[in-house]
Chains A and B, each alone.
Chain A
Amino acid sequence: MMTSMEMAQFPILTAILMSTIVGMLVILFIPGDRTKLIKQVSLSFAGLGLILCLWLYYAYDVQKGGLQFVERYLWVESLGIYYFNAVDGINLPMLLLTSIVLFTGVWTMWDLELRVKEFFALTYLLVAGVYGVFMSMDLFWIFVWYDVSLFPMYPLIAIWGGTRKEYGAMKLTLYLLAGSALILPGILYLWAQGGGQTFDLFELQAMGFSPLVQKVAFIMLYLGFGILAAAWPFHTWSPVGHVAAPTAVSMIHAGVLMKLGAYGILRLGMTLCPEGLAYWADLMALLATIGIVYGAFVGLAQTDLKYVIGYSSVSHMGMVGLGLSTMTVNGINGAVFQMFAHGVMTALFFSAVGYIYDRTHTKMIPDLGGLSKTMPVASSFFIVAAFAGIGVPCMASFWAELLVFISAVKTYPVRGIFALLGLVVSALFMLRVVQKTFYGEKNERWAHIPDVPLFLATPRIILVGVIIFFGLFPKLMLDVIQSAVVPFVSSL
């Protein structure tokens, strides 16, 4: 699988991980009153991560496929824990997504005044966890990083949040850790069934568990990670948490953290328990379809911009689940692409709303109205994100949703058609929100508010650029994803 040559190269994955941990430590040692410096340092570490991830994406050999940039060392001998990092076509887009969202997220928080040092330190801790989950190929480390990415959410929301922040923070934390209460037994169960020798994902995969073990383990992993992926009916923490969180945290959370759930299902559940997947796929598709339709309809009734995005996330993450449950190349391709596209899109959504909310101090749709006349640039960001959400061609999510629905209708005709209806409804509510918030009568209350200055617009422009770039050149991403998905599906 790997040669000594590959082992000897520069440990770029560890370097990406360290860019966040070192970043956090550096921030902790800067005096708290030097907020400007803290922000500059944060942005440069995020930029470093972005550059490394871009290079990684560029350097990954699509023709060769498989695991690359492998770093593997024995960590705890008696249990068989390895420090095992590698990338393939599935986690590579996720790492890129994380670095993009972190970079733009840190940038959009430039105006932050309250407890700046702690905010960025905790954000970096969170992102360290996210990077860790995406690059680890050892079950122990996946779980460790997973939890590391969850618990900073509590202070991040409870201190810097908005609407009902303490309730939202506590609900979110307990929900997500209840999820890990199922994941850990699931992981350990597989480990014990595999003879208690190794936590290495691929060694465990090679063992081939009995159907019963796979069924039991898959449902634990699916439910555990499904909570984080906001699978219906475990989604209720998600809109509440999104609404309560500050802008950058919403961006990271909806953009990246929820992807951890779907990624976990794919990476652990589906890789280790293919027969369990086959057994539970029906349920998975059903819950996903309900999620798509339910998210769209509930979104229709919301009057708070952040709730609207929150429910649209539930709907979009349903599409990821639906794509995974088809077990076809196109479906999983689409699901992974959708994770990326949705990540960038919601980050854009939340950063657009973040600016509007910072200036107007409201995110209630009826209070806004006619914003495109007073702040055309800020409005355009939201509108682009809304189009991406609907799946307009030329946007990255168009391709993702197309792939998911093609395979979904083939595999599960009835559910597929219902999900398509859900998409139509979500288009309806997105357009309705856009119309009510940004068009119509000019609202004099907001006439004095300046439009986004170029400095603060830059991160949003980057996000728009990413959406359109991969919308125009989807092959650049799909080839990478496909290099991992094709062998994966043929092994099912």
Chain B
Amino acid sequence: MMKWVLFVPELFYVSMALVFFLFSLRKKVEQKLLYNTAVILGAVGLVVTVAFARQHGMLFFDAYRVDLFSQVFKVFLALGTFWVIFACSELRGVNPRQHSEFFMLISICTLGMMMLVSSAELLTIYISIELSSYALYLLVPMRRISGDLYVETGIKYFMIGVTASAFMIFGISFIFGVTKSTYVADIARVLPTVISEPAAIIGLILALCGFFFKQALFPFHSWAPDVYQGAANQVTTYIATASKMAAAAMVIRFVGFSGGESSLLVQLLITLSIVSMTFGNLVAIIQKDLKRLLAYSSIAHAGYMLIGILCLSERGFSSAVYYAMAYLVMNFAVFLVIIMVAEDGRNLQIKELAGLHKRSPILALTLMLGLFGLAGIPPTVGFTGKFLVFAAALEKGYLLLVIIGMINATISLYYYLIVIKAAYLLEPVNPYPPVRVDGRARAMSMVLIVAMVYLGLFPDRFVALTEAAARSLP
């Protein structure tokens, strides 16, 4: 029975979903009560996950692996969930009658992702990824705001997602065929010996498609701009942070267990990474809608993260984990500004940020640091992430890849600067209403600003943590 200790964070999110399920059964729910419950439960969830972060062991006939790597990502996920709930406040832009469902689905989705990062067996992985995906398929069209983009968005997301899942399960069948096992540990033992066989490579790549889809890596990116734009700001925040986190964890695990260096696999990943970075950055330049811009930038960032992963070294994996963490923090910062500025839950055009430095200096500063971080400018956490990823790549001798990555970072700076220019330089054409920044938002901004600079300048302990996590990979 002691083993159930390993499963406590997941159980907590199950019960959290149940609580909101009960809320959703009631005809009328006090908004304030619902929101406060969500915040408290989210905070408790974070505390619980942190408290169980040092556990390790196996569960469910070894299909479920709890190690430092999975627990670190669970902490990120719990943090992401808590942060999204905390930032939501009034959930404008989401149909008021569905607020309890919103929180329920967020809990289920977090549960699915937590299971995902711990899964050590292919079918468990598949089930977890579907559990989280279905929650997201429902969350995306929950938006109620003028225009009916959200229906189209929901369907599009669903269709592409299901296709990616089909690819994935097809790939899993190949892997099973080659290795005669669905257990990652067994596969990891057998796969290096057969990695040069076409069936193994195809299986691995097809299975990776499912994760690449979640990560919005080129060519599985096409949902990202529409979903970012079409979903409610809070849901987009969740997709951009927590969901990306889980996908990154799985790509690392999956590529990690392929073990032996298959040059074909590495070549393919290098290509995907370069195309993803370049495509994402170039298309982002012409965007007018801030969320759409961030969607394309997220495609580029998936490419940067892949650089760390394709090194297939411990330093590479740990740098990717660090990068994922950095990306989480920076996206929180930018999306917090979006949620706060677009108070009624509309989409935010870049030009609507005009004069933000006067309307709310603290949000403008948060936005600037977040965007400079995304562009990889020190002393922010984004720079340190890029630095680690590129260092890992150069240790493997991928000089050209790093130069391409850096050129891409320079390109990305251009469009981030356009947004910063809007916030700091442009005078608003028609007077936008002042932004209401309450104590909560102010505190969140402060925490993010400090976190971004602190993680950028004092990375030692966190690098050590990510390295320990990477070492715990099977």
Main secondary structure of the interface of A (DSSP, over half): helix
Residue A140 lies at the interface, judged by CB distance under 8 Å to chain B? yes
Known: A147-B378, A174-B413. A159 touches B391 (CB 8 A): no
CA distance A182 to B420 in the complex (A): 24
Which chain B positions have C-beta within 8 A of A173?
Answer: 413, 417
Q: How far is the CB of B51 from chain A (nearest CB, A)?
A: 27
Q: Are A174 and B414 in contact (CB under 8 A)?
A: yes
Interface residues of A in 174-226 (CB under 8 A from B): 174, 177-178, 180-182, 184-185, 188-189, 191-192, 196, 216
Contact status B390-A188, CB under 8 Å: yes
List of B residues within 8 angstroms of A188 by Cβ: 387, 390-391, 394, 402
Which of A73-100 touch B at CB < 8 Å? Answer: 75-79
Judge whether A75 and B460 touch: CB under 8 Å.
yes
Partner of B383, one of A75, A147, A159: A147
> Is A191 within 8 A of B394, CB to CB?
yes
Give complex CA distance A184, B399 in Å. 11
A148 proximal to B (CB < 8 A):
yes
- Segment at the interface with A among B59-67, B85-93, B404-412: B404-412
- The verdict on A367 contacting chain B, using a C-beta distance below 8 Å, is no
Query: A166–B417 Cα gap in the complex (Å)?
Result: 11
By the criterion CB–CB under 8 Å, are B390 and A78 in contact? no
Q: Tell me if A151 is interfacial: C-beta within 8 Å of chain B.
A: yes
Q: How far is the CB of A276 from chain B (nearest CB, A)?
A: 15
Contact B425 A158 (CB under 8 A): yes
Say whether B394 contacts A189, CB under 8 Å. yes
> Nearest chain-B residue to A185 (Cβ)?
B402
- A311 interface residue (CB < 8 Å to B): no
Q: Is B421 an interface residue (CB 8 A)?
A: yes
**Cβ B377 vs Cβ A189 within 8 A:** no
> Is the beta-carbon distance between A166 and B421 smaller than 8 angstroms?
yes
A170 in the interface (beta carbon within 8 A): yes
Task: Return chain B residues, CB-CB under 8 Å to A184.
Answer: 387, 390, 402, 406
Q: Is B159 an interface residue (CB 8 A)?
A: no
Q: How far is the CA of A79 from the CA of B315 in the complex (A)?
A: 10
Q: Which residue of B lies closest to A158 (CB)?
A: B425
Contacts of B464 in A (CB 8 A): 77-78
Q: Which residue of B lies closest to A193 (CB)?
A: B394
- Distance in angstroms from B410 CB to nearest chain A CB is 5
A144 near B383 (CB under 8 angstroms)? yes
- A66 contacts the other chain (CB 8 A): no
User: Nearest chain-A residue to B365 (Cβ)?
Assistant: A28
CB–CB A140/B387 < 8 A: yes
Q: How far is the CA of A154 from the CA of B383 in the complex (A)?
A: 18
Beta-carbon contact of A155 and B390 below 8 Å: no
Among residues 281 to 331 in chain B, which have CB atoms less than 8 Å away from a CB atom of chain A?
315
Query: Considering the chains assembled together, what is the distance between the CA atoms of A345 and B224 in angstroms?
Result: 53
Q: Does B395 interact with chain A (Cβ within 8 Å)? A: yes
Does A45 reach chain B (CB closer than 8 Å)? no
A429 at the B interface (CB under 8 A):
no
Within 8 A of B (CB), among A140-170: 140, 143-144, 147-148, 151, 154-155, 158-159, 166, 170
How near does chain A come to B365, taking the closest CB pair, in angstroms?
9
Instruction: Flag whether B450 is at the interface (Cβ < 8 A).
Output: no
Chain A residues contacting B467 (CB-CB under 8 Å) are: 78
Check if B407 sits within 8 Å of A79, measured CB to CB.
no
Say yes or no: B397 contacts A192, CB within 8 Å. Answer: yes
Name the CB-closest residue of B to A199. B391
Q: Which residues from B are CB-within-8-Å of A155?
A: 420, 424-425
Is there an interface contact between B403 and A182, defined as CB atoms closer than 8 Å? yes
- Counting CB contacts under 8 A, is B213 at the interface? no
B378 touches A143 (CB 8 A): yes
Least distance between A91 CB and chain B CB atoms (Å): 20
B424 and A159 within 8 A (CB): yes
CA distance A159 to B357 in the complex (A): 12
Q: How far is the CB of B374 from the nearest CB of chain A, in Å?
A: 13
Q: Tell which of B372, B403, B414, B425 touches A166, judged by Cβ atoms closer than 8 Å.
A: B425
Smallest CB gap from A165: residue in B = B425
A181-B406 contact in complex given A78-B467, A148-B379, A196-B395, C-beta closer than 8 Å: yes
**In the assembly, what is the distance between CA of A216 and CA of B394, in Å?**
13
- Tell me the bound Cα distance from A178 to B424 in angstroms: 23
Contact assessment for A151 and B424 in the assembled complex, using a CB-CB cutoff below 8 Å:
no
Q: Closest residue of chain B to A118, judged by CB?
A: B357
Residues of A within 8 A of B459 (CB): 76
Docked Cα-Cα span, A154 to B395, in Å, equals 33
Q: A79-B463, A191-B394 are in contact. Are A177 and B402 (CB under 8 A)?
A: no
A181 CA to B413 CA, complexed, in Å: 11
- The residue of chain B having its C-beta at the shortest distance from the C-beta of A75 within the complex is B460
Shortest Cβ distance from residue B425 to the other chain A in the assembled complex, whole angstroms: 5
Q: Which of B349-381 contact A (CB under 8 A)?
A: 372, 377-379
CB distance from B47 to the nearest CB of A (A): 29
List the A side residues contacting B420 at CB < 8 Å: 154-155
Specify the chain B residue showing the minimal Cβ separation from A181. B406
Task: Tell me if A151 and B372 are in contact (CB < 8 A).
Answer: yes
Q: Is the CB of B425 within 8 A of A159?
A: yes
If A76-B463, A174-B410, A174-B414 touch, whether A189 touches B387 (CB-CB below 8 Å) is: no
Q: 19 A-B contacts, Cβ less than 8 Å apart?
A: A75-B460, A76-B459, A77-B460, A78-B467, A79-B391, A147-B377, A159-B425, A170-B414, A173-B413, A173-B417, A174-B414, A177-B410, A178-B410, A181-B403, A181-B406, A185-B403, A188-B391, A192-B391, A216-B399
| Additional A-B contacts beyond A177-B413, A178-B407 (10; CB < 8 A) | A78-B463, A154-B417, A158-B425, A170-B417, A173-B417, A174-B413, A181-B406, A188-B390, A188-B391, A188-B394
Nearest first, the 9 closest Cβ-Cβ pairs linking A and B are A181-B406, A192-B394, A144-B378, A188-B394, A185-B402, A76-B460, A192-B395, A147-B378, A181-B410
